[in-house]
Homo-oligomer: A and B are copies of this chain.
């Protein structure tokens, strides 16, 4: 069995080393072909039960907080776990990096250490499950907030390549996020991007899509600038959280039978939309895949990140 190495930044998660250790052990159990290089506090990880022949440690205790100025730290002499993980990825054979640390550091570090092209534009892909059992990848989800039409085209290509590898889709359907389905609908950049995407033979462009169709399987890749994409993701997340909370509050003021049904419904929705694995952003545009898990990502979310890397790796490299 070919070994697949994943590099994990074990610091930076809001959930702490205990939760990260659980995640690491879940990955080791679920993916026997995976071996890990873990960048983090070795003693603490071992204390929390990380102990396997398939694990190498790089002992680093310094992390980047969400309030640190990333641009300063990129030129600092201090070794930060997230940046060391990315540097290591540039020089060793691996299938990708997982971090739950600072988003800016993950993005800038990926572009700095893992990109060979000039002035790469960072792009964050987020995958949504829909009730039809399929997934749509939204690019960009918040890495590049001011985009040109050409950058949106680049995101379309990156997203399309990613979905090809991740789900073995031959010609992923690429939709352009806009305010209406007609080609004339949109803001200035979107209308320009429409023309570029329509003329791009490397992708399967299906036209404009609206954000209320994200869960309706109308495209495999939904392209937008990072500002709009971030609104789509957070809006969806906010509504789901509120509705589930509303059901639970309703449940508490009713009888046992109602409570049981409420729990079943919430469980069903969680399962149908794979809500437990939401929170992973995949940084595209670098030479390796870097998965940025949500800061408070639970062990299952981190394990899902490994799942993505393994899936892509089994279809060989990302950009062949």
Contacts and interface: CB of A to CB of B under 8 A. Distances in A.
Contact of A238 (B212, B268, B269, B272): B212
Interface string A217-242: 00000001111101110111111111
A241 B226 CA distance: 25
A31 B245 CA distance: 35
A242 B131 CA distance: 8
A228 B235 CA distance: 11
Contact of A235 (B226, B235, B241): B235
A242 B268 contact: no
Nearest to A177: B231
Contacts of A241: 212
Contacts of A174: none
Copies of this protein, total:
2
Contacts of A131: 242, 245-246, 249
A130 B210 CA distance: 23
Nearest to A230: B179
Contacts of A273: 246
Interface in A185-242: 186-188, 190, 210-216, 224-228, 230-232, 234-242
A160 B274 CA distance: 39
A1 interface: no
B242 A243 contact: no
A175 to B, nearest CB: 13
A269 B257 contact: no
A211 B186 contact: no
A238 B138 CA distance: 15
Contacts of A227: 179, 186-187, 190, 228
B145 A187 contact: yes
A265 B257 CA distance: 13
A261 interface: yes
A236 B234 contact: no
Given A231-B232, A261-B257, A145 B246 contact: no
A62 interface: no
Max chain B Cβ within 10 angstroms of own Cβ: one of A142, A212, A268: A212
Contacts of A187: 145-146, 225-227
A215 B238 contact: yes
A5 to B, nearest CB: 33
A71 interface: no
A269 B240 contact: no
Interface string A108-122: 000000000000000
Contacts of A212: 234-235, 237-238, 241
A245 B216 CA distance: 12
B145 A179 contact: yes
Interface string A267-279: 0110011000000
Contacts of A226: 179, 187
Nearest to A257: B257
Nearest to A186: B145
Return the 4 tightest CB-CB contacts between A and B, nearest first. A212-B238, A235-B235, A145-B187, A261-B261
